[in-house]
Amino acid sequence: MAGLALVRKPGPRIAEGIVTNIPREPVDRELAAEQHAAYVTALAAAGWRPEHAPPADDLPDAPFVEDAVVVSGRLAVLTRPGAPERRPEVDSVEQAVRGLGLNTVRITRPGTLDGGDVLQTGDTVYVGRSARTDDHGIAQLAALLPERQVVPVELSGVLHLKSAVTALPDGTLIGDPAHARLPGLLVPPEEAGAHVVPLDGDTVLMAASAPRTAELLEKRGLAVVAVDISEFEKLEGCVTCLSVLVPDALSM
From 36, 160, 179, 195, active-site residue:
160
Please indicate whether residue 36 is annotated as part of the active site: no
Q: Which of 60, 108, 249, 82 is nearest to 161 (CA)?
A: 82
Whether 225 contacts 46, CB under 8 Å: yes
**Strands 75-78 and 203-207: what pairing?**
unpaired
From 179, 195, 238, 241, active-site residue:
241
Look at residue 201 and give its three-state secondary structure: coil
Please indicate whether residue 238 is annotated as part of the active site: no
Q: Which of 138, 33, 153, 131 is nearest to 82 (CA)?
A: 131
| DSSP letter string, 102-136 | -EEEE--TT--B-GGGEEEETTEEEEEE-SS--HH
CA dist 79 and 106 (Å) reads 6
Report cis status (omega within 30 of 0) of the bond before 198: no
Catalytic residue positions?
160, 241
